[in-house]
Every structure is written in C-alpha cells, then in structure tokens.
Amino acid sequence: MKTAHDLVATAKSRVQEIALADAEQAIRNADVLVDVREADEYAAGHLTGAAHMSRGMLEFKFSANPALESRDLKVVLYCKTSGRAALAAAALQDMGYLNVQSLAGGYDAWTAAGKPITKPETPSFE
C-alpha cells in the first residue's frame, strides 16, 4: 500500500521542480502562479500575484475557467513545502498541460529566504 509520501515521491519524479534560486525568473515568465494550499494558509500570506486554488479543487477550477484552458499555459505551483504542489503539477500534466512547474521547498523555503509575500491588512477601527 502506498503512503502519501510515496505518492509525492512519484509525482516529484515526473514533474519539473524549480530551485528557489530560479523561482523569481520562472514566476515572471509564468502565465499563472497558483497557491495550492488551503484558504486559511493563503489568507495568512502568499506569494505576490498568486491565485488561490486549493489542491482539492485544482482540476475543477482549471476545467471551469476559460482563461486556463490552453494547454500551453506556463503554470508555476507552490504549497507549504512542495508535496501538494508536486501532486498538483502531476495532475495538471495528466490533464494535458505542457508547461507546469512546482516550487521546490514551497512557501516555507520562499519565506525563509526573505523573499516578498503579500499578507492581508488588518482593518483599523480607530
């Protein structure tokens, strides 16, 4: 029986992971940057310009959005540490997307390197 780690390892063996050093350029070249973490994780902070599509809804959101139907789109995905993003990248490849990349180390590696993120602003009631 396979574990979640087995599935992630298999996905990582078939998808292209971007090293953190190359991530900013890959994101600039991408047509879409997708955060596949859960909504509360995204709301706590995310890479600037990232669209939120939780891992569980990714295939449905890509299928339902005409702006995402081109299989030539350049897609960069990330999650907390890279497991969910690898699974998401493999799923998009299975759907026929040709230019899918996953950020190695995910959000945690990005923030540990001091790279910019967007956080929601807390409303002021003064």
Active site residue 79: yes
Q: Which homologous superfamily is 4-112 in?
A: Rhodanese-like domain (3.40.250.10)
pLDDT in tens, 74-121: 999 999 999 999 999 999 999 999 999 999 999 999 999 999 999 877
Quick one: pLDDT at residue 35? 98
Using the predicted structure, report yes or no on whether residue 126 has a pLDDT greater than 80: no
Number of other residues whose CB lies within 10 A of the CB of residue 96: 7
Cα distances (angstroms) measured from residue 43 to each of 5, 105, 106, 120: 26, 19, 16, 7
Q: Which of 32, 50, 75, 79 is catalytic?
A: 79
Task: Return the domain boundaries, the chain.
Answer: 4-112
Q: How many angstroms separate the CA atoms of 33 and 99, rounded?
A: 12
| Residue 29 host element (H or E) | helix 20-29
At 23-81, the pLDDT tens digits run 999 999 999 999 999 999 999 999 999 999 999 999 999 999 999 999 999 999 999 99
pTM given for the model: 0.92
